[in-house]
Amino acid sequence: MRVVLKVALGILCLTALASAQTAEELVAKNIQARGGLEKIKAVNTIRMTGKIYVSGFYAVIGVEKKRGNFLRQNFTVQGMTQVQAYDGSTGWQIQPFGGRKDPELMGEDDTRDLMEESDIDGPLVDYQAKGNKVEYLGHDTVDGDDVYELKVTLKNGDIIYYYLDPDTYLEIKREKQQFIRGSVRESEEALGSYKQVAGVYYPYSLEVGAKNDPSQHAVITVEKIEVNVPIDDSQFKMPAPKK
């Protein structure tokens, strides 16, 4: 009985080790496919502009990121601009569509997405140092195509499933599970039309929204991405209310 138990434990250990090696290998291939660690880490700021189609109308969007977990997102329609930003420690917003034109602090739950999106390198780069855990789940299919599936458990407990193209090793889909106050919030993101900017590949076509509910999806078309442009830290700080 002891011999059988030892053999079983040995098989489990070998399986876990092989899985870890495969996960590590896929992470390395994904990073290399994006442009390599050196070029990814050479990006200190990102400015993206484009259009978003959601619920029957178009809007202009702008996203700025800066190393140090700085993020600002602008959403403009009919001359009004909604702002959501994260300054490395605090999330804030301006919601003119609801008649609130002064900046206000965001709650912890609403800030969660901004915190995760503010990582300019993404959760796979230096994932162990960030406290993230990566597991290889094997093969899966996305729209009938074969993919590799990675499960990334973030330090805060949220989970992101990465679906990698087996030829390019770039992400073609991500699914996120956020555990908030005893409930699960699920979302998904399809990525495509990758283009190279300063040696790093970025998706220029995205579809994001609630999982398994196309009516709650938004289609984003990126028109321009700039990297290492000057962006002052003040862009991410909450301004004082207008008098």
Residue 92 maps to which CATH number? Answer: 2.50.20.10
Q: Which residue has the higher pLDDT, 232 or 14?
A: 232
**Count: domains in the chain:** 1
User: Does residue 241 lie within any of the structural domains?
Assistant: no
| Residue carrying structure tokens 């090793």 | 169
Rounded CA-CA distance 98/191 in Å is: 31
Inter-residue contact 236 to 66 (CB < 8 Å): yes
Which domain range does residue 167 map to?
Answer: 2-236
Provide the pLDDT confidence category of residue 213 given band limits of 50, 70 and 90: confident
Provide the pLDDT confidence category of residue 197 given band limits of 50, 70 and 90: very high
Provide the pLDDT confidence category of residue 20 given band limits of 50, 70 and 90: very low
- What pLDDT sits at residue 243? 63
pLDDT tens, residue by residue, 28-64: 999 999 999 999 999 999 999 999 998 788 999 999 9
Mean pLDDT of 119-129: 97
User: Does residue 142 lie within any of the structural domains?
Assistant: yes
Question: DSSP characters for 182-199?
Answer: TEEEEEEEEEEEEEEETT
C-beta neighbour count of 8 within 10 angstroms: 10
The backbone torsions φ and ψ at residue 175, rounded to the nearest 5 degrees and listed phi first, read -125, 135
| Residue carrying structure tokens 């990465």 | 162
Q: Is residue 26 pLDDT above 90, yes or no?
A: yes
Rounded CA-CA distance 7/231 in Å is: 58
- What pLDDT sits at residue 6? 45
User: Does residue 243 lie within any of the structural domains?
Assistant: no
Name residues whose C-beta falls within 8 Å of residue 109's C-beta, 6 or more positions apart in sequence.
180, 181
First to last CA, the chain: 78
Inter-residue contact 33 to 202 (CB < 8 Å): no
Q: Is residue 16 pLDDT above 50, yes or no?
A: no
DSSP 8-state code for residue 243: -
- What pLDDT sits at residue 14? 38
User: Does residue 242 lie within any of the structural domains?
Assistant: no
Structure-token pair, residue 77: 């329609």
